[in-house]
Amino acid sequence: MQLDSIVTLEDNEKYYLADETVQNGIKYFLANKLDETEEITTEAYIFEEIKDGEDFYLDEVTDVEKMKYLTAVFTSNLINDMEEMKEEA
C-alpha cells in the first residue's frame, strides 16, 4: 500500500490513503472514503496494513484505545505538516 493512493476494499468501497504511520512495527493508514464520483469525503477511517504471504490488505481499526492513540499520532503529523508549510511560505 502506498500513501497518496486510492484503494478499493472487498466491499468495493474506495478510500484515499491520506497519511501513514508505523507503530510497533505495524503500518497504519488514515484514509478518507470516496463518494460515488470518486471525490474525497470527510468520512475518515484508520486501517491496519496486514501482510498475508505476498499480499497486503487493510483491516479497519475498531479498538477504541488504539483508535484514540492513532488519532493523536495522525493529528500530530498534521500539525507538524502545517507548521512546515508555514515556515516554507
In the chain, where are the structural domains located?
A: 6-88
Alpha carbons 29 and 9: distance in angstroms, whole number: 14
Alpha carbons 3 and 22: distance in angstroms, whole number: 12
Burial of 28 (0-12, 13-18, 19+ CB in 10 A): buried
What would the grid cell of residue 81 be? 505538516
DSSP bridge partners of 27: 22
pTM: predicted TM-score of the whole model, two decimal places: 0.88
How does pLDDT run along the chain (89 residues), one tens digit per residue? 788 899 999 889 999 999 999 999 999 999 999 999 999 999 999 999 999 898 899 999 999 999 999 999 999 988 888 888 888 87
